A = this chain, B = another copy of it.
Amino acid sequence: MRPLQIGLLGMGTVGNGTYQVLQRNKLHIERRLGRILEIKMVADLDIAKARSQVAEYCEVVSDANLVIANPDIDLVIELIGGYGFAFDIVLKAIAAGKHVVTANKALLAVHGSQIFEAARQKGVMIGYEASVAGGIPIIKVLREGLTANRINWVAGIINGTTNFILSQMREKGWSFDQALQQAQSLGYAEADPTFDIQGIDAAHKCSIISAIAFGIALPFESAYIEGISELQAQDIQFATQLGYRIKLLGITKSSPQGIEVRVHPCLISEKSLLANVEGAMNAVMVHADATGTSMYYGKGAGGEPTASAVIADVIDIARWSSVDPGSRIPAMAFQTDDLADTRIMVMDEITSCYYLRIGVADQAGVLASVSSVLAQAGISIDAMIQQPADLVKMQTELIILTHHAQESDMKSAIAKIENLPTVLGSVVRIRKEEFN
């Protein structure tokens, strides 16, 4: 069989990683696939640099449109990023009848439905394993490995940058700003870290997971998103004292009330495997009706781990391309005409346990008044720390862990607590969940 001819768009870290891994493991991959994969064209604005990265027989161009226009190219790997030019070029590749592999979670979370529909009509495939959790084949696991199951929930550490920052804050007692700076100087965070630290990147990935876990349209627009930039070092320390670690989690859950899609910092027991995923590593925990809990752990970013996912998609497509589109695995795991229109729950409806830190005046009856507000809201207390009072300022802090409560009840209880005359400033509230 003739080699599969590939066009690679974007020669950054992942593009270069993909090229290198494909060259290095060419024979190994041929032993598995029984066919050669060949990157025939590469497009990058920096032609000189791209030229220096690839073999002589590989054509290098600056205009990605030239790759699309080449009738010999069977498959395009999009590693440009963003949803401007990348969106345009992916649609053009599909229109030209080329299969597409992409690592672009932002593009898929925002424009995925349109892209998948265009691909379906054209009978081409879209591979996107690399868009979630880098080297961990979590898309394959959810779409194929656990396909016999009804999935109950998925909870994951799916942003390495924030996990690295949180690990550093805990280990070194650093502030968020200090940890962010270190992450930037080590290359774990970008110069503009907004998408990572605000939880947007995790929400892109969580939306993709949610869609393929539950057979719904991509729910990014309805996702609840809360980042880590407001987290304070002392809350991480208090959580540690109570036996918890704080992680930024992407959570999606199915219940009779609807589907939850949310990204926010979360206390989880230090004994759980998820809590022990440190540094820039990723892990995704899945609870399904037949398997119970399973977990998938690995590198979530980086040139070669992401390349592993990109190339696995290319190989799958090489195998499936000769197959009648109707027999292929549907791009979004469920048959297109069988997607559910299950509603996405708003945050007020969800239930969670909570960590509260409340600054109070150091005087008798404070605890009684706080706990009576919680009791009136039907929220019961699981654990509590009262800090030694600051004798100069005559104030102290209460740290409370609650049992399950509905978010809307907790919100109004917090508003009432903040209105108590003995309570100083605003209440710090972090959700606490159990995943095992």
| B-binding residues in A (CB < 8 A) | 17, 21-22, 24-25, 28-34, 129, 134-137, 140-141, 144-150, 215, 273, 276-277, 288-299, 304-305, 307-308, 310-312, 315-316, 319, 322-324, 326-330, 333-335, 338
Besides A140-B140, A145-B312, 14 other A-B contacts (C-beta < 8 A): A21-B148, A21-B289, A25-B150, A30-B338, A32-B335, A33-B147, A144-B144, A146-B312, A147-B312, A148-B311, A273-B276, A276-B276, A288-B308, A291-B308
Q: Are B297 and A335 in contact (CB under 8 A)?
A: no
- Whether the Cβ atoms of A148 and B290 lie closer than 8 Å is no
CB atoms of B326 and A323 under 8 A apart? no
**A52 to B: closest C-beta gap in Å:** 21
Complex CA–CA separation, A333 to B291 (angstroms) = 24
Bound-state CA distance A327–B294 (Å) is 31
A367 nearest CB across to chain B (Å):
37
Bound-state Cα–Cα, A215 to B307, Å: 21
Chain B residue with Cβ nearest A34: B335
Q: Would B307 and A290 count as touching, CB distance under 8 A?
A: yes
Instruction: Check B319 against A327 for contact (C-beta < 8 Å).
Output: yes
Beta-carbon contact of A21 and B290 below 8 Å: yes
B25 touches A315 (CB 8 A): no
Residue of B nearest to A283 (CB): B295
A137 / chain B contacts, CB cutoff of 8 Å: 140-141, 144-146
Q: Which of B148, B304, B338 contacts A291 (CB 8 A)?
A: B304
Q: How far is the CB of A111 from chain B (nearest CB, A)?
A: 24
Point out the residue from B135, B316, B322 that lies within 8 Å of A323, measured CB to CB.
B322
Q: How far is the CB of A329 from chain B (nearest CB, A)?
A: 7
How far apart sit A296 and B326, CA to CA, in the bound complex (Å)?
31
* Cross-interface CB contact of A147 among B29, B148, B291, B324, cutoff 8 Å: B29
Q: How far is the CA of A308 from the CA of B149 in the complex (A)?
A: 7
Q: How far is the CA of A22 from the CA of B292 in the complex (A)?
A: 16
**Given the complex of chains A and B, what is the CA–CA distance between A315 and B147 in angstroms?**
8
A32-B333, A32-B335, A334-B31 are contacts. A294–B144 as well, Cβ < 8 Å? no
Given the interface pairs A29-B148, A34-B326, the reply to whether A298 lies near B291 with Cβ below 8 Å is yes
B298 in contact with A292 (CB, 8 Å): yes
> What are 20 contact pairs spanning A and B, CB under 8 A?
A17-B290, A22-B148, A25-B149, A25-B290, A28-B150, A32-B333, A137-B145, A141-B145, A146-B308, A146-B312, A147-B315, A148-B307, A148-B315, A273-B276, A288-B308, A292-B299, A295-B295, A296-B297, A319-B329, A323-B327
